[in-house]
């Protein structure tokens, strides 16, 4: 299982929100590049970079942070937040992301997302499924759709998407443990999917449980910043 550390960006700074609530914001570092270099020095090879300003504005905002990290580390970066148009996709790839992370667009504008898959190749996208009671949540989790997560995943696997991360909205940023049962069900239904767990990781035991459930990757954010898991401990996964 690959550990994918997360950096969330507001105003160019490394922050974390709780359950996607912008009023529950905590700044951890003014310099995201410094944080990314610490991850790289610890032997981690991936980075999940989230443009929270972009997610709110509906257009990519913090591409300069992406450019700096991509230019000064060898991390494989997936970048998301506010990718709504083909112009946004181009900015993300031009700024050095290996993968464009998308969520809401795949729900709200399937036709546009399909164009991107054809133009750039499905392997260059990381699809995000935010879930509330097994239904897809969108727009920074403000809105729950009536789409079952399993239908959503199945549809895009048929269209060539092979990596997906799933966040149980009720767990995110609370350090109360991940939604292992949900992830178990997803992995059982889609055994060939490169499935990444996200949200709620609070300890090394959580990561061991996710690995046992068959997750190929796990996104870890707050647990690192709050010193629940040290970068040294994560070396067992490197």
pTM score, whole prediction:
0.94
81 domain residue, yes or no:
yes
11 domain residue, yes or no:
yes
The answer to whether residue 172 scores a pLDDT higher than 80 is no
The answer to whether residue 91 scores a pLDDT higher than 80 is yes
- pLDDT band of 140, cuts 50, 70, 90: low
Residue 18's nearest CA partner among 221, 180, 229, 197 is: 221
CA distance 74 to 61: 22
- pLDDT band of 201, cuts 50, 70, 90: very high
Into how many domains does the chain fold?
1
Q: Across all residues in the chain, what is the average pLDDT?
A: 93
Q: pLDDT value at position 204?
A: 97
The answer to whether residue 224 scores a pLDDT higher than 60 is yes
218 domain residue, yes or no:
yes
162 domain residue, yes or no:
yes
Residue 63's nearest CA partner among 49, 74, 73, 76 is: 49
- pLDDT band of 212, cuts 50, 70, 90: very high
Say if CB 101 and CB 124 are below 8 A apart.
no
238 domain residue, yes or no:
no
Instruction: Write b or e for each residue in 105-134: b if 16 or more Cβ atoms lie within 10 A of its Cβ, otherwise e.
Output: bbbeeeeebeebbeebebebbbbbbbbbee
First to last CA, the chain: 9
Question: Choosing from 8, 51, 88, 168, which is the catalytic residue?
Answer: 8
Question: Choosing from 78, 130, 168, 209, which is the catalytic residue?
Answer: 130
Domain that residue 78 falls in: 2-233
- Decide the pairing of beta strands 194-198 and 135-138: unpaired
Q: pLDDT value at position 223?
A: 94
82 domain residue, yes or no:
yes
Annotated catalytic residue 8: yes
Annotated catalytic residue 78: no
CATH of the domain at 86: 3.20.20.70
Of the segments 18-27, 80-89, 129-138, which one has the largest average pLDDT value?
A: 80-89
- pLDDT band of 16, cuts 50, 70, 90: confident
CA distance 177 to 202: 6
The answer to whether residue 207 scores a pLDDT higher than 80 is yes
Token pair in block for residue 70: 């991509």
160 domain residue, yes or no:
yes
């Amino acid at each position: 299982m690959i550990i994918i550390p997360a950096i969330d960006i507001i105003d160019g700074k490394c922050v974390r929100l709780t359950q996607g609530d912008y009023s529950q914001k905590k700044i951890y570092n003014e310099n995201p590049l410094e944080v990314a270099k610490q991850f790289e020095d610890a032997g981690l090879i991936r980075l999940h970079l989230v443009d929270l300003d972009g997610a709110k504005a509906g257009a990519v905002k913090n591409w300069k942070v992406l450019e700096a990290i991509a230019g000064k580390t060898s991390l494989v970066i997936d970048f998301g937040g506010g990718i709504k148009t083909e112009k946004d996709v181009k900015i993300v790839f031009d700024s050095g992301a290996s993968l464009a992370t998308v969520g809401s667009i795949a729900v709200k504008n399937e036709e546009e997302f399909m164009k991107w898959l054809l133009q750039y190749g499905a392997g260059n996208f990381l699809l995000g499924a935010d879930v509330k009671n097994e239904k897809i949540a969108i727009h920074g989790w403000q809105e729950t759709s009536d789409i079952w997560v399993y239908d959503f995943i199945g549809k895009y696997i048929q269209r060539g998407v092979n990596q997906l991360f799933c966040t149980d909205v009720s767990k995110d940023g609370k350090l109360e443990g991940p939604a292992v049962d949900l992830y178990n069900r997803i992995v059982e239904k889609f055994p060939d999917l490169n499935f990444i767990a996200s949200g709620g990781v609070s300890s090394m035991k959580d990561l061991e449980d996710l690995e046992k459930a068959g997750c190929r990757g796990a996104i870890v954010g707050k647990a690192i910043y709050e010193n629940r898991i040290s970068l040294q401990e994560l070396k067992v996964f490197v």
